[in-house]
Structure 1
Amino acid sequence: MTQLSSNCRLSGLPRALLLILLLLSLQGVARCEPHTVSEEEGLQSFAGLGADAGGFVQARPGTTLRFPEDHGPHPDYRLEWWYLTANLEDAAGEPLGVQWTLFRQAQQPPAERPEAPGPWAADQLWMAHMAVSKGDAHRMAERFARVGSRQSDPERDQAGVTADPFRAWLDDWSMVSHVSEPGRDALDRLTLSARAGPDDARFGYRLTLEAQGPLVHHGENGFSQKSADGQGSIYISQPFYRVSGEVTLHGEPHQVTGRAWLDREWSSQLLGSDQAGWDWFSLHLADGHRLMAFRLKGGGTDGGDYLSGTWITPEGETTSLDDSALDLTPLTTSAVAGREVPTRWRLQAPDQGLDLTVAAPHANRWMPTTVSYWEGEVNVFDHASGEPRGRGYLEMTGY
């Protein structure tokens, strides 16, 4: 039976903080309980990511990335996130899944922010999600915060990100770098921690992540196009983490090992006006390759869907995949939270010799956050033979 939890920290929020990457405004009544929207409302929310972003910095091809600076926040862009998923196993070989995400949304374009903000001014909204999954159990929580970009104080702010030394946090949910060697990327070694729930139903994790490969830049040197009209984001990943640590579920600790994938993305107008959600795959294949692939609903040159992906070698070399080199086909749907959600897919990338079935072993991975979505572990098989080929994560929005 699915188990759910919501942990909301408003810290003075006068209104509901809606899911940062889904809704672009803060209008409503404060609430802490999970909220589910209708299909029509959900489609409108996701389509809102194509709304005009006048006054904000736009993600463009040719943007020069600099590190460690770009591991930190970009407050003049409207949207941003630090998004980690992990496929783990306990000492008995039983699979577990973990998610940790920190979202940022700017309330006003830079020119509209006061030069001398008052003590209660807050132009940046923050939200964090965490989840633990094992078998039929799926526990999740969310938290919220507001911070002003001009008077930010990392020592006192409830939420934020610093680039050097790297630290991302909301309350005591945190992702912290432990890199001290010169020349090493700040994300090469991290500690990830989050806890929620009462003592007898405690869930969470404390994990150590060690990168075994380089950062990956998607698309055109980090610019990932999201529609034929040119909207997109700056998108980088660290898909090479080896993980060890402890996961707690139902108040019981489990020693775990496995793999993790961290996505970093920022944008001001992520989608086109005719797009209404996405299906997003991050896969660890058994031969050491990785694959990121997504299908955006609408935005294609022929009025259809917009597909894109990145093929990543074990050494970190990349090949961009467009809709002529990639195909994503739903095969089976499952009834989840009153919706029909595709939980079994066929993924084909002929130039890479891929013809895969990607299937969720458990359909009940619905995230009943302020604006809801599906996210969970998937297993990867050869489509013809059924032989195991890997594991990963799938996120689906707009259902």
Structure 2
Amino acid sequence: MIARLCGVFLALATPVLGQGYAGLGSEAEGFAVPEPTYELSFPRDHGAHPDYRIEWWYITANLQDAAGRPFGIQWTLFRSALAPQTASGWNSPQIWMAHAAVTGQSFHIAAEKFARGGIGQAGVTAAPFAAWIDSWQLAAQEPVAGFDKLNLAAETDEFSYDLTLTAQGPLVFHGDRGYSVKSSAGQASHYYSQPKYEVAGTLRLPEGPVTVTGTAWLDREWSSQPLAADQAGWDWFSLSFDSGDQLMGFVLRGATEDFTSGTWITADGAATPLANGAFTAEPLRTVPTDKGDIPALWRVKVPEFSVDLEVEVLNPAAWMDLSFSYWEGPVRVSGSHHGVGYLEMTGRNTSE
């Protein structure tokens, strides 16, 4: 069963010529599509949206131990619908996949899980909030907490983490009240974040348990056709500055033109959407890895907010080399602002 589910998700997630990375540029006939008039509502939208083709609950965290050693963790639960209808039990068309990873300066370890919806092995409830696949979970510590205080856990043979996330600011809506446009042709998603968590807990690494503290960022996004047909991948940045301000920005790479978007977030949580072209990210240095060359140093600029940064990856080898391959890892920020963050690069694997 697991092998079959892996094959199903891989078919949905493998880049296909003319369909964009992860098949996300393919037609969405029969599925719901994001609408600019949709109003986000909670706790409802913390939960699943089975009428849409794909969505995710996604955590990244920048952590350090008592000696100041940096670490990063990622935890993502994906839901993908095979068909635009509902059914119970083994007949459910909902497929679930989760990725978990831990990164240090000299190591990167990643793992994944698969499950079929409808049988209780994986799922999401909105109130009280809980997202899980087997023992991997992201869940509210109190029934009425929503996203305010969460427990994050994952365990594999090589690593585990058990972390408490406490929100320090409001939810942030990207684009126009959470309607995030992804192309000049108008493809879009519903997209919001809780970008400001304080984190405390324990990592279990091959060297043993490590007590850590730090910050985390939670992303929520759902759509049915979030990419245009010619978009082959993206470079996505979530950056948190020592000033308390934050920046989310991405470049969607197209065959003839790139499309950019982003959000400038002040220390008190006020969000300003960035129009196409307002956010730029230019690779300054690439390094070879066993999956191909990757940009390891970037120049990121948002002139509107006097942002001119160098963003450097902590570990160039942070490939999520799972059923489909992408790069995901912590970064360090210098220049006009200083801080930490996360970078995700898809569609850059040149070795397969």
**Contact 1:191-1:207 within 8 A present in 2 as well:** yes
Q: CA deviation at 1:251?
A: 5.2
Equivalent residue for 2:90, pick from 106, 116, 120? 120
Moved more, 80-89 or 315-324: 315-324
**Contact 1:47-1:273 within 8 A present in 2 as well:** no
Name the residue aligned to 1:49: 24
Equivalent residue for 1:63, pick from 25, 33, 38? 38
**Within 1, Cα distance between the matches of 2:3 and 2:105?**
37
Q: What percentage of residue pairs aligned between the two structures are identical?
A: 49
TM-score (norm 1): 0.83
**Within 2, Cα distance between the matches of 1:309 and 1:290?**
11
Name the residue aligned to 1:225: 181
Q: Summarize the alignment of residues 388-399 of structure 1 with structure 2, pairs less than 5 Å apart.
A: 389-399=338-348
Residue 287 of structure 1: SS of its match in structure 2?
A: coil
Q: CA deviation at 1:11?
A: 5.1
**Within 1, Cα distance between the matches of 2:99 and 2:25?**
23
Name the residue aligned to 1:261: 217
Equivalent residue for 1:362, pick from 315, 320, 329? 315
Residue 92 of structure 1: SS of its match in structure 2?
A: coil
**Within 2, Cα distance between the matches of 1:103 and 1:339?**
26
Residue 276 of structure 1: SS of its match in structure 2?
A: strand
Residue 120 of structure 1: SS of its match in structure 2?
A: helix
**Within 2, Cα distance between the matches of 1:171 and 1:47?**
24
**Within 1, Cα distance between the matches of 2:5 and 2:151?**
32
Deviation sequence 1:73-112 (CA, Å, 0-9, x none) = 00000000000000000111100110000000011012xx
Letter in 2 for 1:166: F
Name the residue aligned to 1:4: none
1:315 aligns with 2:268: yes
Equivalent residue for 2:155, pick from 173, 195, 202? 195
Q: CA deviation at 1:18?
A: 2.6
**Within 1, Cα distance between the matches of 2:183 and 2:278?**
16
**Within 2, Cα distance between the matches of 1:204 and 1:42?**
37
Residue 65 of structure 1: SS of its match in structure 2?
A: coil
Equivalent residue for 2:107, pick from 118, 137, 145? 137
Instruction: Give the unaligned 5+ runs of structure 2.
Output: none
Structure 1's consecutive aligned runs of 4 or more residues displaced over 3 angstroms after TM superposition are 10-15, 40-45
1:87 aligns with 2:68: no
Deviation sequence 1:51-92 (CA, Å, 0-9, x none) = 110110001212111100100000000000000000000111
Name the residue aligned to 1:238: 194
CA change 1:194–1:348 in 2 (3 A) is same
Residue 32 of structure 2: SS of its match in structure 1?
A: coil
Larger Rg: 1
Q: CA deviation at 1:274?
A: 1.0
What is the root-mean-square deviation in Å for CA atoms of aligned residues? 2.0
CA change 1:335–1:250 in 2 (3 A) is same
CA change 1:304–1:98 in 2 (3 A) is same
Letter in 1 for 2:66: A
Q: CA deviation at 1:369?
A: 0.9
1:252 aligns with 2:227: no
**Contact 1:47-1:274 within 8 A present in 2 as well:** no
Letter in 2 for 1:192: L
Q: Summarize the alignment of residues 373-388 of structure 1 with structure 2, pairs less than 5 Å apart.
A: 373-382=326-335
1:73 aligns with 2:48: yes
Name the residue aligned to 2:130: 167
Q: Summarize the alignment of residues 277-356 of structure 1 with structure 2, pairs less than 5 Å apart.
A: 277-298=233-254, 303-356=256-309
**Contact 2:92-2:117 within 8 A present in 1 as well:** yes
Residue 351 of structure 1: SS of its match in structure 2?
A: helix
Name the residue aligned to 2:171: 215
Q: CA deviation at 1:338?
A: 3.3
